[in-house]
């Protein structure tokens, strides 16, 4: 494969872009026209002129401190800084003459007088703007030298020339696992401080002291980078013009010489990155400024946590075993594939066509996912295909399908820049979707208001320069009651956008809905007792959302993973329709997808009832499209969903599973039931990077490839199809799409794909919403959002602009039904689960990176009142028990959770939080009710018996016999 | 799947459609079961109804006759 040649303008324009009426001016005799509000520096860059600069960069606002970018402007006195001077009509600017050169050299000379001249051995050599600027201004000589007797201070020598310790010297801070802070190289340009503030919104960095004493600081005197508020997003490292903030990987590996643009494989934001390499050695991942989801920003996972690709635990050879009690045996690919194919076919002969199935992965590409569901439908001859979206966003599919007509977020991420009131419900973006959170916080700092609906006091409720207007701390399981109460206030107080409803929605359905929701049983006063949300707060929040301008709703798994998950999604859609918040920038219904390709996995027909493009298998005209192309007949009946597969396995009618890129044992609820289902199967094929927990029950292990090792596409939460590009050769030998193809062909298929682009051609040819998508278009545009077809050849940033996909929007009756998971004397607390910034999902990737320094184990958050009555102190081992099972972990006392509610994460297999979660699920989709489990918490001596037994089983199941010579 | 689990799931579906307007709730429950329940699951439900359908919502029993 050729390298991806970046057709985009990669230059640093110096200051951020502006939108406004064009202003014409002349710079060095060149006429240029730029939007009003642009800086002279940016206008010069547009004209192709680089004005020397140090403190300016186009990701943060101009600061005007370095004085290197001075220019002359006709009719104005002095030499203004071009970065802070806005353009004016008819302006005549000179960026080069003797006076300016002299000034710049003088500035540069002063900078260099306090900077070490170790350029040849410096990690930033070749990537240093200070070095570049010294060259650009023609600095040839530094007149200022420290006298031999000492006395002249610098920041970069540990001792002065007289041998005295230099009080201005601060040693390098190497506490962060991914980057170093070397104060001796700092020129105090404040770019890092501004990036932390403006881009990331964490405010971890500051400038401490004045004048010569000015230093970049991680907050309190005692704080180093790791102990501070720093979230390790890398924004400061990105903007640092010198080696002051420097990736450790670059210190170790040298300056990269080539780059490939690709897409992050973590959360559903789908950030674009430049993978920077030497040969096939990845040196660093740098957020790509033209990435339309992330606009040049990143988080600790995408930016730094890619080391798992080379982790020693990664399995690179296929393995098989007769029984799951045997040790693994390394074999060649042919043998492993043959073994799997023979077993699956034998099972089908003995137990029927429908006795085997597949699970596709939201961590794999669209092309891979498409092939895995095709394997089920065309080769197995059944619809037993499901995806991990089953356990996260399947209610989004059902709920938005019923109300709007399709399963997708309505906006792009840029939309948040136009939002006036945001509702965040059941999501914790600063941890789960950090780059989106940064973009939201940026808008909040400029005046948008926020309503948080969450049982926990998440960071967005109150953190640096962000405070929610309302936090509605509801009891887990009462989402529908709270959303209905919001709608009740909007309808009964006359805040409905009548014009929108009449024009865009089914009016009869609306009238019925209005009658239903106006009933006093939905009033905030009536629901307060069961939701725990104060009626006055809820009324105020409803009024704010209905009358505060553009209203956008962002939601996560705290909405979907409930018995009423689908109903809650409908209630969200109702709220958006009632307030007319659909179809323009700044509004909409926005599911925050957990994994990178949840949207894509759903689009690609992973669900057992749908062919690609959300078309039910019962529709013969849809089946015919594939039947003609694939030369098979497609089963018109829906297949088994993941929980149904496990039930059928326990019942004895489901015997074989091909599971790609998923760890259902750790991630699915009611671990013991999952284990029983897997143990009952006779052929479990795990296709993954590592021997995950599911692999403890597997007969075949097919080593997978990482996102760095293959071509394909991911579709993020805004329906954006982004390219994944092969950065290095797969260590395991094959891309995952090739492995699925080998298995299909061993079972009699005749697939001949030689590149994922051909798979995308097949997707486009068969799926109307993807009809216009091909790799050439993605090369040209960078990315497109579906629908992308004849009526939207460049994709669709906003959905339902003139009408809903289904025609008229449909308001649905959303009666609150309490979950059957109730607290009682045995289990008096409610457990809810979530994730943390540094870890991702089951942790298979992030636990194998230095990210563990931030989160080495799952802990149980418990309110101090609940802890006190149980005699629990901070850090104690506690047992958490539900009707499903029990596990043990350490307690953390915090009032982020309300009394009666406890919270933990599920990143670590040693904890196995899902031993505790139950088999209750969403009524429509079987999405598990992870977010509500009645539990008891008590002191414990350490890990539970189950944990110890499981650890023992896992160790035995992971034994590998070396291949025979 | 255990009968308790099946009954719980089916009754959840009935509870939703009972709350919806119209007089075709049983048809809509049946349609949902046809669209999302694999034939094995529908068969198990029908057998369970044939044996008396203990604990099942009346709407599910009515719907199962349309499967």
Beta bridge partners, A359, equal: A386, A659
Sheet with A783-785, strands from edge to edge, namely A712-715, A720-724, A783-785
- The encoded tokens of residue A557 equal 């798994």
Q: Tell me whether residue A75 is exposed, middle or buried, using C-beta atoms within 10 angstroms of its C-beta: 0 to 12, 13 to 18, 19 or more.
A: exposed
Tell me the CATH number for domain A319-390+598-785.
3.40.50.740
- Search chain A and give the residue with CA nearest B17: A813
Using a CB-CB cut-off of 8 Å, the residues of chain B touching A618 are: 34-35
Domain A394-591 has what CATH class?
A: alpha beta
pLDDT at A151: 66
CB contact under 8 A, A919 and B32: no
Q: What is the rounded (10 degree) CA torsion for A327, A333, A336, A339?
A: -150
Tell me which fold the domain A179-310 belongs to.
Alpha-Beta Plaits (3.30.70)
Domain A829-957 has what CATH class?
A: mainly beta
Q: Tell me whether residue B51 is exposed, middle or buried, using C-beta atoms within 10 angstroms of its C-beta: 0 to 12, 13 to 18, 19 or more.
A: exposed
DSSP for A10-40, written as a single string: ----SS----SSEEEEEETTEEEEEETT-BH
Q: Give the dihedral sign, CA B56/B60/B64/B67.
A: negative
Which H/E stretch holds residue A329? strand A328-330
Please report, for residues A306, A682, A845, B6, the alpha-carbon distance to residue A643 in angstroms, rounded to integers and kept in the order given. 31, 18, 25, 12
pLDDT at A147: 66
CB contact under 8 A, B35 and A813: no
**Of B5, B13, B38, which has the smallest distance from its Cβ to A638's Cβ?**
B38
Domain boundaries, chain A: 22-136, 179-310, 319-390+598-785, 394-591, 829-957
pLDDT along chain A (965 residues), means of 10: 60 95 97 97 96 97 95 96 97 97 96 93 94 95 76 80 84 96 95 97 94 89 88 96 97 95 95 95 96 96 94 95 95 97 97 96 94 97 94 92 91 96 96 96 97 95 95 95 98 97 95 96 97 97 97 96 96 97 96 92 95 95 96 96 95 96 89 93 96 95 96 96 96 96 96 97 96 95 94 93 91 95 94 89 88 90 96 95 92 94 88 86 93 94 86 90 67
pLDDT at A174: 96
Neighbour count for residue A29 (Cβ, 10 Å): 9
- Search chain A and give the residue with CA nearest B33: A924
A649 touches chain B (CB under 8 A): no
pLDDT at A484: 97
pLDDT at A652: 95
Q: What is the average pLDDT score of chain B?
A: 95
CB contact under 8 A, A919 and B5: yes
**Of B8, B13, B37, which has the smallest distance from its Cβ to A638's Cβ?**
B37
Q: State yes or no: ipTM above 0.85.
A: yes
**Backbone phi and psi for residue A357, each to the nearest 5 degrees, phi listed first:** -160, -175
CB proximity under 8 Å: B 7-66 to A: 8-9, 12-13, 15-16, 19-21, 32, 34-41
Tell which residue, A780, A777, A803, has the closest CA to residue A788: A777
Alpha-carbon span A387 to A906, nearest angstrom:
19
Residue in this structure with the two tokens 């694999």, named with its chain if needed: B38
Alpha-carbon span A167 to A183, nearest angstrom:
13
Residue in this structure with the two tokens 């962000």, named with its chain if needed: A466
Alpha-carbon span A632 to A749, nearest angstrom:
10
A382 touches chain B (CB under 8 A): no
Using a CB-CB cut-off of 8 Å, the residues of chain B touching A563 are: 12
How far does the CA of residue A880 sit from the closest CA of chain B (Å)? 24
Residue in this structure with the two tokens 């201005």, named with its chain if needed: A168
Is A470 in contact with A461 (CB distance < 8 Å)? no
Show Cβ contacts of residue A203 under 8 Å, excluding neighbours closer than 6 positions.
Answer: A196, A197, A229, A464, A465
- Interface mutation vs chain A, best among B4, B33, B36, most A CBs within 10 Å: B36
Alpha-carbon span A103 to A138, nearest angstrom:
11
Q: Tell me whether residue A123 is exposed, middle or buried, using C-beta atoms within 10 angstroms of its C-beta: 0 to 12, 13 to 18, 19 or more.
A: buried
How far does the CA of residue A436 sit from the closest CA of chain B (Å)? 33
pLDDT at A187: 95
Residue A539 carries which DSSP code? H
- The encoded tokens of residue A646 equal 């496990």
Beta bridge partners, A715, equal: A721
Q: What is the rounded (10 degree) CA torsion for A33, A34, A37, A39?
A: -90
Residue in this structure with the two tokens 């539900």, named with its chain if needed: A882
Task: Report pLDDT digits (tens) over A71-93.
Answer: 999 999 999 999 999 999 999 99
pLDDT at A1: 40
pLDDT at A2: 44
- Interface mutation vs chain B, best among A394, A517, A637, A649, most B CBs within 10 Å: A637
First to last CA, chain B: 19
pLDDT at A666: 87
Assign domain A22-136 to its CATH architecture: Roll (3.10)
A514 touches chain B (CB under 8 A): no
Is the peptide bond preceding residue A787 cis, with omega within 30 degrees of 0? Answer: yes
CB contact under 8 A, A609 and B41: no
């Amino acid at each position: 494969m050729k390298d991806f040649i970046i057709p985009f303008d990669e230059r640093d324009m110096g200051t951020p872009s502006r939108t406004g009426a064009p202003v014409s001016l002349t710079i060095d005799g060149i006429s240029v026209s730029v939007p009003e509000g642009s800086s002279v520096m940016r206008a010069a860059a547009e004209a192709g002129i680089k004005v020397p600069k140090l403190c300016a960069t186009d990701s943060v606002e101009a600061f005007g401190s370095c004085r290197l970018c001075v220019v002359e402007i006709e009719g104005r006195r002095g030499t203004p800084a071009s970065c802070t001077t806005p353009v004016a009509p008819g302006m005549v600017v000179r960026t080069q003459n003797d006076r300016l050169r002299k000034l710049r050299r003088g500035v540069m000379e002063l900078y260099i007088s306090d900077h070490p001249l170790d350029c040849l051995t410096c990690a930033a050599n070749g990537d240093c703007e200070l070095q570049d600027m010294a060259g650009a201004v023609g600095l040839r000589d530094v007149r200022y030298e420290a006298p031999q007797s000492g006395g002249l201070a610098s920041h970069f020598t540990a001792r002065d020339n007289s041998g005295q310790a230099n009080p201005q010297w601060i040693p390098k801070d190497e506490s962060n696992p991914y980057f170093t802070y070397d104060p001796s190289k700092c020129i105090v340009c404040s770019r890092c401080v501004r990036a932390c503030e403006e881009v990331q919104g964490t405010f971890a960095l500051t400038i401490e002291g004045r004048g010569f004493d000015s230093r970049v600081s991680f907050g309190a005197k005692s704080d180093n980078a790791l102990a501070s508020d720093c979230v390790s997003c890398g924004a400061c490292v990105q903007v640092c013009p010198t080696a002051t903030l420097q990736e450790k990987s670059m210190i170790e590996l040298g300056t990269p010489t080539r780059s490939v643009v690709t897409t992050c494989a973590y959360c559903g934001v789908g950030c674009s990155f430049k993978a920077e390499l030497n040969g096939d050695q990845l040196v660093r991942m740098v957020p790509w400024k033209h990435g339309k989801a992330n606009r040049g920003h990143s988080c600790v996972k995408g930016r730094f946590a890619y080391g798992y690709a080379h982790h020693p635990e990664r399995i690179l050879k296929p393995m098989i075993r007769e029984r799951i009690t045997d040790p693994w045996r390394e074999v060649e690919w042919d043998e492993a594939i043959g073994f799997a194919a023979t077993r699956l076919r034998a099972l089908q002969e003995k137990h029927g066509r429908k006795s085997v199935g597949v699970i596709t992965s939201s961590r794999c590409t669209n092309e891979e996912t498409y092939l895995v569901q095709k394997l089920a439908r065309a080769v197995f001859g059944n619809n037993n295909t499901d995806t991990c979206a089953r356990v996260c966003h399947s209610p989004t599919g059902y709920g938005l399908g019923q109300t709007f007509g399709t399963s997708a977020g309505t906006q792009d991420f840029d939309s948040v820049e136009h939002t006036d009131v945001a509702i965040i419900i059941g999501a914790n973006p600063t941890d789960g979707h950090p780059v989106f959170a940064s973009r939201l916080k940026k808008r909040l700092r400029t005046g948008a208001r926020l309503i948080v609906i969450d049982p926990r006091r998440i960071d967005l409720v109150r953190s640096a320069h962000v405070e929610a207007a309302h936090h509605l701390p509801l009891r887990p399981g009462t989402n529908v009651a709270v959303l209905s109460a919001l709608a009740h206030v909007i309808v009964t107080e006359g805040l409905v956008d009548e014009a929108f409803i009449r024009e865009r929605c089914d009016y009869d359905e609306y009238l019925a809905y209005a009658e239903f929701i106006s009933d006093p049983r939905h009033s905030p006063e009536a629901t307060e007792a069961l939701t725990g949300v104060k009626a006055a707060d809820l009324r105020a929040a409803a009024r704010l959302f209905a009358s505060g301008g553009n209203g956008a709703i962002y939601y996560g798994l705290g909405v979907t993973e409930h018995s009423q998950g689908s109903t809650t999604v409908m209630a969200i859609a109702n709220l958006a329709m009632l307030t007319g918040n659909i179809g323009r920038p700044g509004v909409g219904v926005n599911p925050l997808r957990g994994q990178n390709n949840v949207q894509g996995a759903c689009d690609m027909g992973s669900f057992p009832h749908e062919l690609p493009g959300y078309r039910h298998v019962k529709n013969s005209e849809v089946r015919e499209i594939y039947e003609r192309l694939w030369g098979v007949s497609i089963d018109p009946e829906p297949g088994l969903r993941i929980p149904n597969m496990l039930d059928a396995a326990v019942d004895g009618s489901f015997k074989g599973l091909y599971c790609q890129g998923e760890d259902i044992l750790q991630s699915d609820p009611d671990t013991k039931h999952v284990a029983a289902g897997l143990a009952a199967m006779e052929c479990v094929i795990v296709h993954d990077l590592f021997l995950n927990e599911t692999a403890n029950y597997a007969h075949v292990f097919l080593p997978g490839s990482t996102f760095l090792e293959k071509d394909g596409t991911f579709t993020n939460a805004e329906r954006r199809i982004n390219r994944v590009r092969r950065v290095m050769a797969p260590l395991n030998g094959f891309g995952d799409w090739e492995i699925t193809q080998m298995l299909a062909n061993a079972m009699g298929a005749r697939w001949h794909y030689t590149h994922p682009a051909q798979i995308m051609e097949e997707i486009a040819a068969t799926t109307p919403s993807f009809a216009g998508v091909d790799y050439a278009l993605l090369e040209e545009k960078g990315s497109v959002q579906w629908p992308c077809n004849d009526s939207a050849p460049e994709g669709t940033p906003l959905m339902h602009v003139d009408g809903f996909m289904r025609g008229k929007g449909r308001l649905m009756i959303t009666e609150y039904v309490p979950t059957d998971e109730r607290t009682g004397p045995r289990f008096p607390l409610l457990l809810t689960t979530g994730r943390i910034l540094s870890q991702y999902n089951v942790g298979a990737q992030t636990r194998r990176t230095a990210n563990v320094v931030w989160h080495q184990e799952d802990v149980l958050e418990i309110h101090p009142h609940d802890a006190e009555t149980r005699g629990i102190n901070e850090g104690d081992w506690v047992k958490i028990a539900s009707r499903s099972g029990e596990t043990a972990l350490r307690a953390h006392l915090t009032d982020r959770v309300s009394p009666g509610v406890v919270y933990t994460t599920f990143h670590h297999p040693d904890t196995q939080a899902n031993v505790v979660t139950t088999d209750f699920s969403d009524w429509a989709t079987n999405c598990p009710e992870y977010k509500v489990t009645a539990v008891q918490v008590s002191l414990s001596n350490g890990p539970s018996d189950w944990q110890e037994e499981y650890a023992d089983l896992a160790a035995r199941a992971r034994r590998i016999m070396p291949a025979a010579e | 799947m255990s009968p308790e689990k099946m009954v719980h799931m089916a009754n959840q579906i009935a509870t939703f459609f009972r709350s919806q307007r119209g007089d075709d709730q049983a048809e809509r429950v049946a349609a949902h079961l046809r669209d999302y329940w694999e034939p094995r699951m529908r068969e198990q439900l029908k057998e369970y109804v044939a044996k008396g359908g203990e604990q099942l919502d009346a709407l599910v029993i009515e719907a199962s006759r349309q499967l």
